[in-house]
Amino acid sequence: MIPSASNSEKENGFMTNNMRTRDIRRMILIGLIVALVSQLYWNIFINNFRISSSVIILPVLLMTLGKSLSTPLTCAVTAVIVFFFRLFPALHSGTSLLVSAKSVFPNAIFYFCYGIIFAAMVPGKHTVSYSRLFPAVFFADFGSNLVELCISESMSHSMTPDKAGYLFLIALFRTFLAGLIRMAEGHYRTL
């Protein structure tokens, strides 16, 4: 005879499943917000390389809506959503699936890398100070952009060292804006 679970075990199991569902929904929501905001981008300094405003909002979402979520998993979900969000318009323009996927793939890799770097530098989002958070945002942005650029440029064989300098400046600027938004959000919560 198999013992049956007590009511408290059933409730805990329900709470765990309910929490997982809520966490998955929040990850998808973060991914959708980032994908939508990523539609505001610039092609400056580097041809066919998007400089997106979504990277300004991503660390803010990770530290607020995604504070209790796994950063690498949240960024992986975001990467998949961004990949398909950008793939469909590319396919609609008449490009083949393989060519479209190849052009969009480096963008998705950016978010995977961002999640890994950010999680390595900010292992505890509940206790991180601004002095630790801002360098993490900067290095996650800069490092992920370097990886994305290396992948996309290796496909076209046009990598040059000056592009890394541009990425450094872009990461610095986006970190500054993300920091302002995060501090404003923190002050708002305090009030």
Would you state the pLDDT for residue 8? 46
SS3 content of the chain, % helix, strand, coil (to 5): 75, 0, 25
Range 24-47 average pLDDT: 84
Spatial distance between the Cα atoms of 174 and 172, rounded to a whole number of angstroms: 6
Mean pLDDT of 18-39: 91
Owner of token pair 């709470």: 15
CA-to-CA distance for 86 and 18, rounded, in angstroms? 31
Q: What is the pTM of this model?
A: 0.81
Sequence-distant contacts of 164-170: CB under 8 A, at least 24 apart: 166/45, 166/46, 167/142, 168/142, 170/45, 170/51, 170/141, 170/145
pLDDT value at 7 more than 70: no
Determine contact, residues 82/52, Cβ cutoff 8 Å: no
pLDDT over 70 percentage in the chain:
83
Question: So what's the pLDDT on residue 69?
Answer: 94
Percentage above 90 pLDDT, the chain: 37
The amino acid present at 137, given as its one-letter code, is V
Give the span between the Cα atoms of 53 and 61, in whole angstroms. 13
Q: Which two tokens stand for residue 182?
A: 């995060």
Q: How many CB atoms lie within 10 A of CB 164?
A: 14
The two beta strands, 41-42 and 51-52, are antiparallel
| pLDDT score recorded for residue 151 | 86
Report the first-to-last Cα separation within the chain, whole angstroms. 57
pLDDT at 5: 47
Neighbouring CB atoms inside 10 A of 165's CB total 11
Please tell me the predicted confidence (pLDDT) of residue 24.
94
For 121-174, write each residue's pLDDT tens digit: 998 888 888 888 899 999 999 999 899 888 887 766 555 667 778 888 889 988
What's the Rg (C-alpha) of the chain?
19
Which residues touch 156 (CB under 8 Å, ≥6 apart)?
48
Beta carbons of 60 and 185 less than 8 angstroms apart: yes
